[in-house]
Amino acid sequence: MKFQLFILLSALGTVTGQLDKLAKEAGLLYFGTAVDNPSLNNQNYLRIARDPAEFGSLTPANGQKWSNTQPSQGRFTYGSGDAIANIARQTGQQLRCHTLVWYNQLPGWVSSVYNRDQMQQIITAHIQNVAGHYKGRCYAWDVVNEAVEDDGRYRNNPMYRAMGVDYITHSFKVAQQTDPAARLYYNDFNIERCCNAKINATIAMIRTVKAAGAPVHGIGMQGHSRVGMSPSKREMKETMARFSELVDEVAFTEVDIRHTKLPIGAAERKQQGRDYMEVVGACLEMPKCVGITVWDFTDQYSWIPQQYPGEGEACLWDRNYNQKPAYQSIVALLQSAASAGLRTSATPAPVAAVMTVDEWAATVTAAA
């Protein structure tokens, strides 16, 4: 196995059109990317984003959020979301839809609603219209996004103030009624590293929502992290094992791994590659992990520098569309998993016989 992987590394060079193709060969359902509207006039960007062998799934990063789809009450606009959904339709890529109910990027008119019945009617109308517009086109919807604080409390957002936890249950029920074929997800950050107060609260929340008769098919772990401080594969597998007791599938939905100090050198790039491999390796080794989405693939359009000044270079391609060592590391890991042939479906048996991330890292060191 070590010899085989060394041969793969030696022949690798600069590769293209690999991530989704290899992810499927390794037994995952998809390897995808978020796409945001400012990038859609960039032909260098589109050449990669529209390649279904590279990315089998597209997620509109902002186009389907409440502020873009219903900026004023009763006025629905779909241009931003449609621009990305139409790419997926043209190329045959899967569409992973994001997000129906979120406290952020929420129009002011929603924040001013305090009455329970009014809020329920508003959520109903929003989901029926937005999910209805995309009915039959979304593999999955992030129905509710980031409803829990890091300390385990429910986030005190306008929906929660009006309806309590019932807003979550109601959202999932309406989403299922509107688009019965879509996989319905709860999506959040800081729920990757087992096991903290937020993970425990998320599990309790999902149990409560499902006990009330609402369907929750999946849990999305966003996967935003920092180089050298990312969760380990073991920690993420422990978390996924707990989630897997509650839902049909789990996924990494918004992965980027940022450097906290710039500029960086070869050692930092190599560590970033290891951190990305921990994510991919954890997903490969868990039966219910169906796929991985990166939160855009090039540093040119990353959200990190604006949100975290002085940090960045979090993506798999740099600003000039050169693949980074992290990309090469993921490709080699997926090639190893695919060649083993032990995970052959979207919800497969564990791939314990595939070279683990630790074994792979040791091989790279030895080869160097």
Indicate which residues carry an active-site annotation: 146, 254
Collapse the DSSP code of 270 into the 3-class scheme (helix H, G, I; strand E, B; otherwise coil) and give the result: helix
**Which residues are registered as beta bridge partners of 93?**
none
Number of Cβ within a 10 Å radius of residue 129: 15
Cβ atoms of residues 221 and 192 within 8 Å: yes
**Which residues are registered as beta bridge partners of 183?**
140
3-state secondary structure 162-216: HHCCHHHHHHHHHHHHHCCCCEEEEEECCCCCCCCHHHHHHHHHHHHHHHCCCCC
- Rounded CA-CA distance 220/205 in Å is 14
- Rounded CA-CA distance 190/2 in Å is 34
- Rounded CA-CA distance 144/154 in Å is 12
User: Residue 345: CA atoms inside 13 Å, Cβ hemisphere, count?
Assistant: 6
Collapse the DSSP code of 149 into the 3-class scheme (helix H, G, I; strand E, B; otherwise coil) and give the result: coil
- Rounded CA-CA distance 52/209 in Å is 35
* C-alpha to C-alpha distances, 247 to 32, 68, 238, 327, 356, nearest whole angstrom: 21, 30, 15, 30, 25
Tell me 264's DSSP state. -
Number of Cβ within a 10 Å radius of residue 68: 19
Rounded to 5 degrees, what are φ and ψ at 63?
-65, -25
Strand intervals (E) in 228-331: 249-258, 289-294
In this structure, the strands spanning 30-35 and 183-188 are unpaired
